[in-house]
Amino acid sequence: MTALVVAAIIFIVSLAGGALGNEFGGGFLSSPISHIQLPAESVTEDALFLDFKVTNTMIATWFAIIVLVSISFFGTRKMTEVPRGIQNLIEVVIEFFLNLCESIAGPEKARRFLPLVMTIFLFIVAANWLGILPGFGTIGRIETAEDVIHHAEEKAEEDGKELNLAEIKLQVFEGDSSFSFFPFGSVDDEITAEEYEHDGVEDGQRAGLLVPFLRSANTEVNTTLAIALVAMFIVHFWAFRALGFFGHVGKFLNFKSGPIGLFVGILEGISEIARVISFTFRLFGNIFAGEVLLVAMAFLLPLIGIIPFLGLELFVGLIQAFIFSILTLVFAAMATVSHDAEEH
Amino acid sequence: MNARGMGTVLRLVGIGWYVAICIGGGAAGGLYVDRWLDLSPWFTMLGLSMGIALAVVGMYRMLLAVMADTSDSMDEETRE
């Protein structure tokens, strides 16, 4: 009973303190909704060299790699016959995937496919789960209002459109030195670029947009596209090795089975390209949408609104990694079987 | 909820604070070094990353301890 009462009080405080409560005079816990954009943001104002900029998703990718390498290092440092600790966990995962590969691709091909399938799974799950940690999306540098307006002007010029300053939203931060933050109850602290140019901001405040230093790696299309391209490239490489050049290309340019066979082969060729696109956008869409959902729930119901969705994101991150790896395995298994064997 | 359950809840809340302090403290420390050496944003990012790493490792160890204690107390209750 006490727990229910405490939970109800927390819920009411969260509701009143969030964006919904702000409409009725509350909003004492919330801050402006985070700025969301599709492309990854550069962590530095200027390019490092030439046009190369280090983006926040790039850093998150390196972070995931460091985590995986560290686990592998510490898990294999003092290996024992009877595994314990991290070695045990690693062996459970490897055994699960080896059995899976053997059941789908057969015992001879399983060990060849296992490294790619496991790498894809481990990288995607590590990147997705790291993206849920605090600090991702919330700590970063502030892109000044002048820079935001300048970039918007450049984009409008590129697109041949007229710039409308009233459509550019800027967040207002407390603190005008190198450390700025959103205080509690700052839900309404947003202004448009037009208002900024007319009235500016108060002393001790600065306007701009938060550019996080860390952003989940798979919230950028480039990352998911890269993984999809690597997966399909290696699948086709295995297919060429297993079936030979004419054996594999003959699946797509099939002159033996008449015009219908040729048409079906061409469709299969198109579906190979569609697979890359579907791999890319399935993973990107799920993880990016999950991040937007977390931002929205934290904005609407601070303190507790985000909790069930963090659990959902843990689950979705794992499932998406599993789907990506299992589909790669299935495509590899199908690609390395000749057409004649399929018919029999 | 009994006293033992409340104790577990408080320990878990403490783990949450530990994670937040590690990450916030790491970022703040990195920011301080950046201001001192004028190398923004590299040390802030390094501090943030180290804070996250420390938070995760500490959280893992503390959670194992909480789970071990919870499982011991459940065994005791079963025996009783």
pLDDT in single tens digits along all 344 residues of chain A:
888 898 888 888 888 888 888 888 888 888 888 888 888 888 887 777 788 889 999 999 999 999 999 999 988 888 888 988 889 989 999 999 999 999 999 998 999 999 999 999 999 999 999 999 888 988 888 888 888 888 888 888 888 888 888 888 888 888 866 678 888 888 778 888 888 888 888 888 888 888 999 999 999 999 999 999 999 999 999 999 999 998 999 888 888 888 888 999 999 999 999 999 999 999 999 999 999 999 999 888 888 888 999 999 999 999 999 999 999 999 999 999 886 655 44
Cα dist. B65→A174, B15, B18, B23 in Å?
A: 40, 11, 15, 21
Helix (H, G, I), strand (E, B) or coil at A45: coil
Specify whether A110 is located in the same domain as A230. Answer: yes
Q: Which chain B residue has its CA at the smallest distance from A45's CA?
A: B41
> Token digits for A187?
């839900």
Q: What is the count of structural domains for chain B?
A: 1
Per-residue pLDDT of B51-75, as tens digits, reads 988 998 899 899 889 888 888 777 7
Specify whether A174 is located in the same domain as A319. Answer: no
What is the C-alpha separation between B75 and B66, in angstroms, rounded? 14
Q: What is the pLDDT of residue B14?
A: 92
Q: What is the count of structural domains for chain A?
A: 2
Residue A155 belongs to domain spanning: 13-54+140-212
Specify whether A181 is located in the same domain as A301. Answer: no
Q: Residue B75: which residues within 8 A CB-CB, separation 6 or more?
A: none
Residue B32 belongs to domain spanning: 22-64
Specify whether A336 is located in the same domain as A291. Answer: yes
Residue B48 to residue A134, Cβ atoms within 8 A: no
Asked if residue B71 belongs to a domain, the reply is no
| B12 inside 8 A of chain A by CB | no
Q: What is the pLDDT of residue B25?
A: 92
Per the document, the length of chain B is 80
Q: What does pTM read for this prediction? A: 0.89
Specify whether A48 is located in the same domain as A144. Answer: yes
What is the C-alpha separation between A43 and A50, in angstroms, rounded? 16
Specify whether A337 is located in the same domain as A278. Answer: yes
What residues of chain B, 34 to 53, have a C-beta less than 8 Å from chain A?
34-35, 40-41, 44-45, 48-49, 51-52
| B20 inside 8 A of chain A by CB | yes
A192 within 8 A of A166, measured Cβ to Cβ? yes
| B22 inside 8 A of chain A by CB | no
Q: What is the pLDDT of residue A322?
A: 96
What is the C-alpha separation between A23 and A30, in angstroms, rounded? 12
Given A212, A234, A256, the domain boundary residue is A212
| A331 inside 8 A of chain B by CB | no
Specify whether A237 is located in the same domain as A287. Answer: yes
| B55 inside 8 A of chain A by CB | yes
Residue A213 to residue B40, Cβ atoms within 8 A: no
| A44 inside 8 A of chain B by CB | yes
The angle at the Cα of B21, spanning B17 to B24, to the nearest 5 degrees, equals 135
Specify whether A156 is located in the same domain as A101. Answer: no
- The residue ranges of DSSP E strands in A120-228, in sequence order, are 140-144, 169-174, 190-192, 205-212
Asked if residue B28 belongs to a domain, the reply is yes
